[in-house]
């Protein structure tokens, strides 16, 4: 019996289960899991699912596109005593099950009335952007919009991390940027002089401090551009403040928060 199954009576309301089919460890405190839901699970790119184990539930933004057969998640370990669910999930492996609320939630989704999408994230905060890009590339009918032709959409992914090993999807995003001229990817490390970043030749500095110059350099007009921010609350607050007195549309998702 799995940890989740052993404690399911503590979780009230409607839920189903999902089985871990694959796990990939990225760093000592970052890993990916793939879940196979017991029932069909429909969601929009950018939304999150609520999973549980040990009688504890937390929301996690979904990496995978709705077109994929499994739910892919990118999780950061919050150790005890601050973390409650992630230490349990960290010990779980392939074949074990978690609870899954049957409906996704969240309104942090692609804004199709804008053609320029500036997607700012920190570590696990890039998760909804990967889902959006996968869906866009896999589904020629998405997104639907009366305002913008599909061929006019452009995506600018700006990802920040303290250390280069925290970039869970840099290979995928870099590859997409190389293959598609409507996708650009700018990763930046905030601690370039520390040993874990040895050999880093990319951008440096906190990603929130680079957004304004980046948008100006690309010549992105406010009427055509939406600024998205997902991840660490301090990063979100800073990006929001930088564009507060402008005409740029801004949306946020406080995906990262204390796991309590």
For residue 143, whether the previous peptide bond is cis, meaning omega lies within 30 degrees of 0, is: yes
Give pTM, 2 decimals.
0.93
Which whole number is the average pLDDT over 205-232? Answer: 97
Q: How far apart, in whole angstroms, are the C-alpha atoms of residue 228 and residue 110?
A: 9
Q: Is residue 108 part of a domain?
A: no
Question: What are the tens digits of pLDDT across the range 139-190?
Answer: 999 999 999 999 999 999 999 999 999 999 999 999 999 999 999 999 999 9
Domain match, 133 and 176 both: yes
Question: What are the tens digits of pLDDT across the range 111-148?
Answer: 999 999 999 999 999 999 999 999 999 999 999 999 99
Final residue in a domain of this structure, among 100, 133, 163: 100
Q: Does residue 63 carry a pLDDT above 60?
A: yes
**Domain holding 246: CATH number?**
3.40.50.80
Q: In the prediction, which pLDDT does 254 show?
A: 75
Q: Model confidence at 3, in pLDDT bands (50, 70, 90)?
A: very low
Q: How many domains does the chain have?
A: 2
Domain match, 249 and 165 both: yes
Domain match, 131 and 186 both: yes
Domain match, 121 and 157 both: yes
Contact 108, 228 (CB under 8 A): yes
Mention every residue, 6+ apart, whose C-beta is less than 8 A from residue 146.
none
**Domain holding 10: CATH number?**
2.40.30.10
Question: What are the tens digits of pLDDT across the range 14-40?
Answer: 999 999 999 999 999 999 999 999 999
Domain match, 44 and 132 both: no
Final residue in a domain of this structure, among 100, 132, 164: 100
Expressed as residue numbers, the domain containing 75 is 3-100
Q: Is residue 105 part of a domain?
A: no
Q: How far apart, in whole angstroms, are the C-alpha atoms of residue 3 and residue 19?
A: 12
Final residue in a domain of this structure, among 48, 69, 100: 100
Domain match, 93 and 152 both: no
Domain match, 36 and 165 both: no
Residue 84, SS3 per DSSP:
coil
Which residues are 76's β-sheet partners?
A: 30
Mention every residue, 6+ apart, whose C-beta is less than 8 A from residue 35.
18, 19, 20, 21, 51, 70, 71, 72, 73, 98, 100
Q: Is residue 64 part of a domain?
A: yes
């Amino acid at each position: 019996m799995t940890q989740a199954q052993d404690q399911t009576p503590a979780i009230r309301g409607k839920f189903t289960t999902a089985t871990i089919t694959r796990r990939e460890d990225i760093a000592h405190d970052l890993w990916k899991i793939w879940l196979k839901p017991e029932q069909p699970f429909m969601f929009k790119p950018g939304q999150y699912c609520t999973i549980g184990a040990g009688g504890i539930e937390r929301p996690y933004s979904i990496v995978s596109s709705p077109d994929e057969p499994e739910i892919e998640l990118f999780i950061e370990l919050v150790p005890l005593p601050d973390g409650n669910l992630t230490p349990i999930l960290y010990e779980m492996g392939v074949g074990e099950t978690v609870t899954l609320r049957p409906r996704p939630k969240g309104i942090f989704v692609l804004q199709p009335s804008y053609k320029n999408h500036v997607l700012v994230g920190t570590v696990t905060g890039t998760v909804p952007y990967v889902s959006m890009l996968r869906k866009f590339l896999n589904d020629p009918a998405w997104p639907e919009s009366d305002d913008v032709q599909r061929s006019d959409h452009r995506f600018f992914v700006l990802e920040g991390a303290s250390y280069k090993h925290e970039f869970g999807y840099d290979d995928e995003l870099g590859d997409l940027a190389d293959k598609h001229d409507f996708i650009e990817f700018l990763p930046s490390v905030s601690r370039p002089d520390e040993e874990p970043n040895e050999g880093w030749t990319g951008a440096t500095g906190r990603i929130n401090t680079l957004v304004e110059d980046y948008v100006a350099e690309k010549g992105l007009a406010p009427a055509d551009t939406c600024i998205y921010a997902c991840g660490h609350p301090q990063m979100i607050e800073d990006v929001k403040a930088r564009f507060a007195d402008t005409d740029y549309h801004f949306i946020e998702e406080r995906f990262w928060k204390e796991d309590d």
